[in-house]
Amino acid sequence: MAGTEEVKVEVKGGENTTDEVDFAKIPVHEAFQILSATHDGLTQAEAEKRLVDFGPNKLPESTRNPVLVFLGYMWNPLSWAMEASAIIAICLNDWADFALIVGLLLMNSFISFYEESSADAAIKALTAALAPKAKVLRDGKFDSIDAVNLVPGDIVVIKFGDIVPADIKILAESDDAEQEETPMQIDQAALTGESLPVKKFSGDVAFSGSAIKAGERHAVVYATGSNTFFGRAASLIASTNNESNLQKIMTKIGGICLVTIGIWVVIELAVQFGHYNHACYPGEEGCPTLVNMLVILVGGIPIAMPTVLSVTLALGAAALAKEGAIVARMSAVEEMAGMDILCSDKTGTLTLNKLSIDIPSIHLATPGYSNEDVMMYGALSANTVTEEPIDMVLYNSYGKPDELKGFKTIKFVPFNPVDKFTAATIVQESSGRVFRVMKGSPQVVLKKAHNFEEIKDAVDAKMVEFANRGYRSLGIAKAEGDGKDGVTKWEMLGLLPLFDPPRHDTAQTIKNCRVQGIEVKMVTGDHLLIGKETARQLEMGTEMYPSDTLIQAKNGHPEFLHGYANILDMAEKCNGFAEVFPEHKYEIVKILQDGNHVVGMTGDGVNDAPALKKADVGIAVAGATDAARGAADIVLTEEGLSTINSAVLGARKIFQRMTTYSKYTVAVTFRICFTFGLITVIYNWYFPTILIVVMAVFNDGAMIALSKDKCVPSKLPNSWNLKNIFLMGIVYGLYLTLSSWCLYHVAQKSSWFEDAFNLQSLDDRPASLQAWCSAWIQGPAFPSVDGNQDNVSICAYPGYYETYNADYGGACDTQGCSPTNIGPACLVLDSPPTPTAIEQCEAEQHYVRGAMMRALLYLQVSISGQMLVFVVRTQYYSLLNRAGNMTYLAFILAQTAATCIAVFGFDGYVPPKDNFEDCVFCARSNGESVLYFPSKTVPIARTESVYTASVIGCVGYAAVAWVWCIVWYFPGDFIKWALCWMLNEDGFRDTAAWQKNKQRPELSKEGEDATVAAMVGGSHGNPLGRVSLSKAPAKALDRKSASVVAITRNSKTGVARVSADPKKNLQIARNSLMKPAGKDGKEQK
């Protein structure tokens, strides 16, 4: 309740003034007067009018600019690195690479925006039925409506299990002032931080978001939406935005990738400038070394990781929703995938919560009767008018209802706690036979039997047996006649065992859970014997104890351990606990969590909320109260446990897709860095940024298909084992680096392909180039001086003379050499002032062969990189484990495009800065013209341009790339199995050891201090529309103002009405903000 002082401010405004009224202090009749309402509620027409005036009962949804949302997907560390690469490209006038890098960023943002928007739409449609309801009095009758449509003045019913839908003032139970009032128990922890429920009496107020722990009462709504205490606080207190476990994982993976990239960038720049003495000039293609640095930056950054993982999670959550599991907290998907213990309630979850008769176990007390006879007399004893549960189960369990139509009940004696039986007098209409049927306590029915002594021992033994099995016994007896003659001979027909039967799918679901490494433990409030019988029927194991046994052992009484080593050992190994109180559920979850387990908990009531919130995966079953749904991480919309089983499988598939991409992206980062870093450093060889960007566009774009990949869920619970992910990624990356280096070495540092397959030589070794050029230059077609053609200046060549003489300040004229003046001056042997024919030939051949090698290496890196996905996506043999159609289609499309690029190339793009057009020495090794190279633009020897990373189609070598990748693909599965064995990945080698060493993830639950359900619109990330604040409202706002509401008072008539202006209530919140404590620890004035 509010404090004793009332905050009151008056603001002049013509005929109307604005006052503040504390609804906790004013009497009920005055509250009704201000609200213009009565105990009879509002009319529907008036409610609709007020809904327009006051707005819906939810917090205002901030309007998000779609453009800013789209751009927001490019605001993360990995994107920043890509954006830095784009800036470097601009500085180098590399507009093509700049455009491609920006295009890659935009593509990732578009995919994220589209897929997550689609998931939002699907989630909103599926969660509409879960919107909180309110029972409201309108037009003189109670009706259930969406709580969002409540308005001030509505009369609502609040009861045990409800979430208070708005700020309300509680009304009296009755008009009798002398009657002792039973207080309501309301949990305000989310708002005030109070650990215990608060007693609320008539005239008290309750705040939106509180949970009803006990009681049922009518109340009048006085504030809704942003005008409530929570709503005002939400407008001033920052919402929580706790970093999810997935975000932490992405940060760590991205951080390692960026560190690896940074190391290689430093190494490459140091070697290229320090060892190879490369020059760097401003302008386009003036600094190939810096351009080549972009290869490491762009190729190594897992730019698609945030997109792939977030889209995978969003689409997965939407798929789970369709299967009947609404994910209220996105990171709960990961935690459900890692869940290894599920604590399940019995009633309504494992069982039907429906009384039934175990017909095969019926005990026949008197010979001559069958089970069917006993069931018929039991059905005749039922009074279906009152719909008592036992009467209804007796009537409905008899399989031949038509046979009962010939009987008529002429008298019925109802059950009373003294006699403990019912008796029905029946007449059989066809024969006129009259008889009586009794049902009731077995001991009572037995004592009325005429042959009591004969059947006593057998009936007593059966009653004990039924009790030990957790059954309730019901005795059935009959006697001929109506008893009016004083002669009654009761025959006890039998004992009916009554029980709550397991659901038809529960046993199989529990078996499935165990196969998948999840131990299901029963946690029930029922008697121990009932729990054991249900466990026996479900084959769960019957080693169960009362929960008090565990608590006593925890409190230091070892005699309650029953031989277990400690309480954790007991909680892990026993099959469940019975006679459990709500606070015990919390303790059971905590004990198991302390033992390194990821624990799931099912619940349906308000008393389950603490345990649901404490559990790693709190699961509200179908039909759960608003309070349970508000505390749960996953809300089921289908009955029973089978939905949980489906959700676990779905969560593990989602997790499998995310870990597949994580291993892939780590491997690709290391592969790109090591492959192009080593080749650049060792061989002084450059790779074009444009091919890396194109590869990223094709391959990372194709990786989106992983979010819909067909995958086999793991046999055991999942967890983010980053050590294994990095180690496996590094090994895969180095293996792929080895495959690329071998291809580069065989193709460019040997003549094996030329000798073995008669392909165009790509050998760029100096001796090979010199030998080929010496042979090529010989002949009458080339200038000669004294028989020497190798050392003739390029100035003697017509096409080269004009270009070189113009670009180098008349160097040819200074030398005295030209195509029309070929003499001794054109022969340069020592310190040649201009490049010679042999130098230019070697430069051109080096350029052409290198450009074709780039196309070949690009295709090999592209194919083998994406092929890796098929290896890492499963622990089975990859060729026999079919992936999703989208995954295959994405691979085919991406690599078809890559093959086309490799075959046709880019016509020598990027062209060398210092170049000759219409090259003379750029023939293929067999003397034919180079295909798909019409520009014939080549670098000038002795310039930095000889290192330009241009691309020319490799033609037939495309087939080499495919064959090479296929050959190197096959060992991939064996490497995977070796790694899984050594690292014991997911229990590959030893399940027990894996479970023992498995580290419990660092899990975080958003907004534990203050979480309120259904206060804003839902989305795939927040389907129940929860609002979580960084602190409880009462810790930021003065509680004296909690129930203060702005009203408008007419200065002439004195009539006051609740103000519909949210700004006035917001001002109240601002005025009540608690200032930070001073140095003395006291609140500052």
Catalytic site positions: 345
Position 460, amino acid: D
Contact predicate 422/432, CB 8 Å: no
The whole-angstrom separation of Cα 122 and Cα 465 is 52
Q: Which two tokens stand for residue 715?
A: 């046999």
Contact yes or no for 945/914 (Cβ under 8 A): yes
CB neighbourhood size of 583 (10 A): 13
Token readout for 234 is: 């939400």
Task: Cite the DSSP H helix spans in 565-604.
Answer: 567-573, 582-594
C-alpha–C-alpha distance, residues 705 and 864, integer Å: 17
Give dist(CA 816, CA 828) in Å, integer: 12
Residues 6+ apart with CB under 8 A from 880: none
**DSSP bridge pairs for 768:** none
For the chain, how far is it from start to end, CA to CA, in angstroms?
23
Nearby residues of 697 by Cβ (< 8 Å), 6 or more positions away? 100, 103, 104, 107
What is the Cα 291 distance to its own chain's centre?
Answer: 39
Closest by CA position to 846, among listed 775, 946, 702, 779: 946
Amino acid identity for residue 653 in this structure: K
Q: Which helix (H) or strand (E) holds 435?
A: strand 433-440
Go through the chain and tell me how many residues it has. Answer: 1085
Rounded Cα distance, 177 and 202, in Å? 11
In sign, the C-alpha dihedral spanning 220, 222, 227, 232 is negative
The pair of three-digit structure tokens given for residue 678, joined into one six-digit string: 């080593």
Q: Are 987 and 890 in contact (CB under 8 A)?
A: no
Residue 128, both tokens: 């509409």
Q: Using alpha carbons, list the distances in angstroms from residue 1012 to 2, 154, 328, 586, 653.
A: 21, 21, 12, 20, 30
Closest by CA to 309, choosing from 141, 152, 108, 132, is 108
Q: Please state, in angstroms and rounded to a whole number, the distance separating the CA atoms of residues 367 and 235.
A: 77
Burial 793-827 (b: 16+ CB within 10 A, else e): bbbbbeebbebbbeebeebbeebebbbeebeebbb
d(CA 999, CA 722): 11
Which residue in 447, 438, 448 sits closest to 478, CA to CA?
A: 438
Tokens coding 1047: 């009203």
Which residues lie closer than 8 Å to 963 by C-beta, 6 or more apart? none
Please state the separation of Cα 61 from the chain's center in Å.
23
Q: Tell me the C-alpha distance between 34 and 21, whole Å.
A: 9
Q: Do the Cβ atoms of 647 and 336 come closer than 8 Å?
A: yes
Q: What's the rounded Cα separation, in Å, for the pair 1069 and 1073? A: 6
The answer to whether 24 and 204 are in contact (CB under 8 A) is: yes
Name, in order, each residue with C-beta under 8 angstroms of 1037's C-beta and a sequence gap of 6 or more.
Answer: 229, 232, 233, 236, 1069, 1072, 1073, 1074
Minimal CA–CA distance to 547: which of 581, 595, 573? Answer: 581
